[in-house]
Amino acid sequence: MGLIKLLGELRIWLVENSFSNKHRRQRFFTKIVKTQINEFGENFKVNNMCRLNKSVTVKNNVNLNGMEVQGNGKITIGNNFHSGKDILLITQNHNWKDAKTIPYDDEYILTNITIEDNVWLGSKVTIIGNSTIGEGSIIQAGSVVVNDIPPLSIAGGHPATVFSKRDEEHYNECVKMGKFY
């Protein structure tokens, strides 16, 4: 068994066995992620293993349940964000256009991702750079976001497309009254 695989299995065992208390696990993961990212707001919680970097900024009342960032493009996550497990954000790609070699060269193209306020991502969502997820949107589990998603949209699929909308009047009333989970 390779060393990398062994260390991965050890990490999983430690997470499953040493941190059976939910709140202890949450404090542990939150503390680690706070050292990884650029900036974080109040009531920031990390409930599962995340791999982020200094290009990430999160605002208030953000709940991460497992996220990985690939690349160094800027990522902004708005207020009252919630996610399922295994979220992947990709903000870097190889240069293939006008590349000096085939299929690509050693230059990286950085892209940005913006997730606006009050967004909920289901488990195993992938977001490709140069995408904005509009305020109040919900992205269905397993979806791949490759373009902007308008505010208050419910989207899903591969690529993610809008198939429904939130009730705007109800949404605005909840926001006005400060009803956030």
Active site members: 94
What is the rounded distance in angstroms from the CA atom of residue 170 to the CA atom of residue 66? 29
Phi-psi domain of 153 (left: phi exceeds 0; alpha: psi -120 through 50; beta: other)? beta
What is the rounded distance in angstroms from the CA atom of residue 69 to the CA atom of residue 81? 16
Nearest to 67 by CA among 43, 85, 92, 44: 85
Nearest to 118 by CA among 150, 151, 146, 148: 151
- Residue identified by tokens 């902004």 is 76
